[in-house]
Structure 1
């Protein structure tokens, strides 16, 4: 699989989680999508993400080990910072939210 060409308005963050390829694709003019193994599972078309406190995208999918909760936190005003979290833990991108003590 070849990686897509770089585009100035597109930002990608990806990780392998429980054997699944999880990717966040944010396009400045088209919104943000969450893909699992290349299939879109959630989308948010908001143009701005002003707070990392609330997930921009949040979804629970069937993972190989049971339900897998994925959320995307983002701050995007002039520059975009993206954090991908799985089951409450940082897995890729910027660390925008401090992890809770368990």
Structure 2
């Protein structure tokens, strides 16, 4: 690899990181705004935040973990499946705690 190719690769990688950072920041701000200033019913806001969270996961995978959508290798597939498992455990545990607290408060 020539020095020019190496510099071009670094610029492309830096642009990917900056675009991912900007997208993650925008998605986080949008989710915060949807909750802070609700203009829709609670279920709709929940759906918006859920959708923004899923988009955040795609941005993280694509921009920071460099997992492409063209051809998935076995390691990439295992990473995605493990991430889905961890997210499912976190969400289900949070819902158990929230519903338990709701039941106790009512």
- Calculate the TM-score normalised by the size of structure 1: 0.25
Relative to its length, the structure with more strand (as a share) is: 1
Higher RCO (CA-CA < 8 Å; seq separation 6+): 2
Relative to its length, the structure with more helix (as a share) is: 2
- Calculate the TM-score normalised by the size of structure 2: 0.25
Higher-Rg structure is 2
